[in-house]
Amino acid sequence: NLVNGFGEDAGRALTEHRDIKAIGFVGESRTGSMIMKQGAETLKRVHFELGGKNPVIVFADADLERAADAAVFMIYSLNGERCTSSSRLLFEASV
């Protein structure tokens, strides 16, 4: 099931309910930490996707035009609001 709502209202009811055995959460690290702490009381299983700093890595043998297009897509598509969006661009020294 999917529950949409605002943190304190929706979150605490889910994390403290004894019949809910697991919670999956996509969002901020701070909220994930709160979910883990609240869910620990009832030994909930948790799965988090908490924003990362995924790099786009470009090696010397890359097709640079394709790499540039891919980097722009990974960084800017969906306004960066994807679990796999990138926020760093790394190049091999020879590039």
Active site residues per annotation: 49, 83
Per-residue b/e over 83-94, b at no fewer than 16 CB within 10 Å? eebbeeeeeeee
d(CA 73, CA 85): 9
- CA proximity to 42, closest of 22, 70, 57: 22
Residue tagged 């099931």 (tokens): 1
